Amino acid sequence: MPDRFCRVFQAVYIYIMDTRDRVYEIVRMIPPGKVMTYGQIGKITGVHPRQVGRILHQNPDPEKIPCYRVVSSQGKLAENYAFGGLAGQRKRLAEEGAIFSGAKVDIQKCLHKGNCESENLVCYPCRTDRPE
């Protein structure tokens, strides 16, 4: 029984790492001054938007993986942004030229429409290797 458990755990671990890497790769592709939503990234990777947030909160390299460019679907910033809080996220986005409407990013003007057609990504619904 323990041997079977280890194989199952290993398969789940590999899948999670693969998902984490996909999230980070998508975030790397967001151009300066633009944002994507947790939901967009979740749709591409096949994970819940909250899981996207958890993955980004554990970002190992915020300079190369600009997680501050990810916001809610309403343009709200992350109150618990791991690298400087809400003020740090707003400052970084403003420095890149993101447009704000009050406390939110103007989604109409700043949304990066990254998807499997425009970014050479394969979104989760289009993938053939997804688990059944």
**pLDDT for the residue numbered 66:** 97
- Count of Cβ atoms closer than 10 Å to residue 55 Cβ: 23
Domains and CATH numbers, the chain: 2-126 (1.10.10.10)
The pLDDT score that the predictor gives to residue 41 is: 93
Note the pLDDT tens digit of each residue in 109-129.
999 986 554 445 555 555 555
User: Token pair for residue 72?
Assistant: 């809610």
What does the pLDDT look like over 3-14, one tens digit per residue? 454 555 555 544
pTM of the model as a whole: 0.77
What count of residues does the chain have? Answer: 132
Mean pLDDT of the chain: 82
Under the banding of pLDDT at 50, 70 and 90, the label for residue 57 is very high
Tell me which residues are annotated as active site: 67
Joined tokens for residue 128 = 């053939």
Residue with tokens 């057609």: 117
Q: Give the rounded percent of residues in the chain with a pLDDT score beyond 90.
A: 62
To the nearest 10°, report the CA torsion of 88, 49, 21, 94: -20
Q: Which amino acid is at 70?
A: V
Mean pLDDT along residues 26-46: 93
